[in-house]
Every structure is written in structure tokens, then in C-alpha cells.
A and B are shown apart, each in its own frame.
Chain A
């Protein structure tokens, strides 16, 4: 008997017991759709995180002082370190020292907190800013200790009613004094991972050194070329800084990169997805037991049919294939419905929690693989039982 005939027979049998077949499939539908939804949402979340991290600049690595260790005056990073690293490492495109000041905006604003970050002429490129008006910081601003500022568009709109705030003056009070900063550029506000965390603005780092009255930095942000092995370069940078500051023995500098964070997040997400999928897989096993149960019922109900088929010359293999294909058809149909339901759920939940979840080909392949395996695994015993029936006993069955 060929497979097409067996499929036709299987479909006829399933169709003649629609309700029962559906209930049998339900376990599989729930299992498959859960796996599909979880995997798709997991992938969507991962993609979204990757997208967020890419705005942090995946080519950026931050070198900072280990604050847990006692810091000696010679350990602080200086402007001379920037010159030294730029000279020694061809892989580095830009270096911006980490310096910032928390300030209070003077004027009629809802939220007065502002964080001023030190920047150089590279800030627009390094931070991947989207300039809406004006320009970025230039060497003249930096070296001339100009009191200028590149601000985010939310703040510009809040303060001046328009994104085009170039030329306006902002009054910011830091601990020691109030400073008048002239707006030279406005960039589009980015939604950060934590949501709104106060207004931001960039000021030439030398100006900020003056405002903060310091020559020390806690850290440096390095921007590498596109295809540089960050791990290797960063290790070299750390060791060069250790030698320059003569503190190699105390491990005073550490590095942090969005790339390493991304790897960590990805592996955590992967584990969570795997764990939840494993739980969903249990429901697939339960669904499989349902398939086995209904197939055993089917064999008992159709004992006489099996007897007739054997009397007409059906071999062990014919009956085996017939019932196995029926089990596979039930579970595969459950799989197909599960995929459809899972796809719907993915879209629905994805829209609700705002995750761009897409049905992955892997998840589809897995769903169908699972369905067929369940059909075979849980269908073999009932099919074997049917195929081994004694024709004379089967024919006498009422």
C-alpha cells in the first residue's frame, strides 16, 4: 500500500471522529503554540536588545579605574593618556574621557535635572548622534574651553519650544557655580533602555574639566575601527596603561564593552528561552500520550476492520503503516494548527508588549520535527498492536 493511500485512509478516519481528533490534538496544539510563541518572543526581545545596544556603539569600549581598589593619585587617567594611546594604537579611532557633571537647569522646565557629558569633536560620530540643528563640538570649542553645548531635542523643545535652539543660552547650576552655555547643536533624543532619565547634553570635555576643576578622569571611552578584535586590543591597552602608570601589579584598570554585555544578555536570554521551552516540551509529551491513547482506542474500535483488511491480504507492514500514518497525521495536524495559533499569539503578545516578534524558520522546523517525532514515537505501539492482531480473532470481534 502506498503512502498516499495511507494518508487518505488516515484523513478519513480523523474526519469521521472530528471532536475526538481535535481533543487529541489539543495537547499538541497547546504545546507547539507555546513553544512557537516563546521562541519567537525570545528572538524578538533579543533582536530588540541588540538594536538597543547598537545605539550604544558596539565599537566602543570603556576603560575605567577599578574603584574597589584603593586609588593612588598616580592611577587617575589624564589627558596625556589620551595622546599616548592615540599614538600607540592604530586600531583606535577616537578617545573621549569620561567626565560628567550633574547640574540643575535654571528656568521654566518640568524636570530640572541635567547630565552634562564631556565630549570632543568626535562625539557625533562616536555616540552616533542624529543632529537636527547646528553642529557638533569642534577642536576650537575644545581647545578654547568654550562654554558651548550640544543638547537633546526634548530639552530644546521644552526650553525653547522648538528643536532649533541654536544660539540660545542655557543656564546650568553645578555645585560650585552657575554657567551660561550656548547651544551650538541639537540632536534627536534617544529612548534609553531605562526610559527617561533626565535631560542630557554634551559639553567640550576640557570645558567640563574646568567646571569640575579637575585634571583626573575615572575612565576613557575608546572607539575602535569597525573590524578590530576588541578583546585583543583592549587587553593591550590595559597593559599599556598599567605600565604607563606603573600599577600593573595592582590591576587598576578594567574594561567594559556593549559587545560583552550583549553577549551576556544573549546567553541569559537563550537560557531563559530554553528553560521555558523545556517546560512547554513537557506539554508536548503529554500531548503525545493523548495521541497514543486515542490510537489504542482506535485500534480496539477498528479490530474488525483490521481483520477484514488482513483477510484481504494486508501484511503486517500495511497495517503498521496505516496506523502509524494516522498517528503522524493527527500529530502533524496538531502541529500545523499549533503553528497557526502560535503565530497568532506571537503577533498578539508581541503587539501588546511592543516586541517585534517574528516567527522563526527554526521554530517552524522544530514544531514540525516535534510533531512527526511524537506521532512516530507514540504511534508505534498502537500500530504494532494492530498489525499483530490475529486475523481470525479480529474478524470475530464485534
Chain B
């Protein structure tokens, strides 16, 4: 469902040339719950941006849901981001002037979903993340954990092929972290494909597979055993 082959990303030229990703290849199957682990500067965010169609690789191939991403126009990339990818950012990235409900509604507006269906689906996903009573609150009126739950609801609402979460618990306290991870676990059980970037061992251990990155290279790809969890 997601295939990356010889993916390379180079910034700058000559002396200031930095190879952020060094010919990375891997594959993700439908329904997998996978974490990308590495220190800062290991290339995991660069990889995330390419997988999220926000950035383009210097070379190599990226196929998402049978679509070769590098051939797509800006317009088509927008459509892929809208329909196939759900983003969850470390800093939530909610629009501060819009209520939780409206933030969730936004990607459906871009998808051209009719008003009634937008309302129905936004209520549904907000209820799924336990925020049905906070729908009309502004982000400033929500706690960090609640904000991230809104962001997850927003990422899910267009029923994407893959959920990309970039350090989703990086700005949260341990209680909120636990809540968010529970939601991810639940989503995984429902069959959602999740790719989670983290530098926290505890978080990575909750997933089913870990990809370890260092200096732009994929150094380890391992299944996680959950026998004792």
C-alpha cells in the first residue's frame, strides 16, 4: 500500500550539500501500525514530509495506494494530501480562529463534501476521539491533549489511506500522551494504517514495527513483540 524505493533527499550544493535521506527503501502494508525512530537530524522528519506529499524527493520512488507520487502535478498532490493522507503534527497545527468542529470540517470543505455530510462526519470523528461535548470550543479553550485529539479527528475525517503522525505526543504530558496513544491503538485495531514518527522508546514500543533511522539511513527494521504488554 506504501512503497518507498531508493528514496534520496539532498539539500544544497557543493560544500554545503547535505544528504538528508540516503537511498531509503521499505514497504508498509495496509493496517500496519509502524513507528519511525531516530534522533533529531536522522532524517525522519524529511521522510515524513515526503511521505506526506509536502516535499519531493531528489531521487527514488514513492508509491502510495498504487499511485507514483513523483509524476503528479501540484494540483494532484493537493488531492492526494486531501484524500489519502491524514496528518497529525507535534504542534497540533489547528487554525486558532476556528472551533474544533470547523477545524475538522476544513479538509472536507476542500474535498467538496456537502454541508450535511460534513456536519455528520465531523460529529462522528469528534465523538470517536471523545470530544463530542467540546466541538464548538476554540483551540485556545482546549488542553494540549484535547487539541491533539481534534487534530486526529481532522486527520481521520476524509478516511485517508494512511495516518502520518509526526511526534504526536512530543508536546503533551504523560497523561495526555497515554490518552493519545490509546486512540492510535484503537484506530489500529479498526484497521487504520498508521505511521508514527517519534524519538521516545516508550511510544515506539506500542507500535507493531519499528524503523530505526540514523544519519539519513534506515539502519534497522524490526517487528515489535507485544507478549508482555
A residues neighboring B (CB under 8 Å): 1-2, 5, 12-13, 16, 304-305, 307-316, 318, 391-392, 395
Contact = CB atoms under 8 A, between A and B. Distances in A.
Interface centre among A2, A307, A311 (most CB of B within 10 A): A311
A12 B81 contact: no
Q: Which of B49, B93, B109 has the largest number of chain A CB atoms within 10 A? A: B109
B135 to A, nearest CB: 17
10 contacts: A311-B81, A312-B87, A313-B83, A313-B158, A314-B110, A315-B78, A316-B74, A392-B49, A392-B55, A395-B54
A4 B94 CA distance: 21
A257 B74 CA distance: 71
B75 interface: yes
A250 B115 CA distance: 85
Nearest to A387: B74
Chain A residues touching B, majority SS: helix
Interface in B89-130: 89, 93-95, 97, 106-107, 109-111
A307 B94 CA distance: 11
B97 A12 contact: yes
Contact of B110 (A13, A313, A395): A313
A266 B124 CA distance: 68
Contacts of B106: 309, 312
A313 B49 CA distance: 14
Contacts of A12: 97
Given A1-B110, A314-B110, A392-B49, A308 B78 contact: no
A374 B218 CA distance: 54
A9 to B, nearest CB: 9
Task: Pick from A311, A313, A316, A318 the residue with the most CB of B within 10 Å.
Answer: A313
A318 B97 contact: no
A310 B95 contact: no
A394 B119 CA distance: 28
B209 interface: no
B93 A308 contact: yes
Contact of B81 (A1, A5, A13, A310): A310
Given A1-B110, A392-B55, A312 B97 contact: no
A307 B93 CA distance: 9
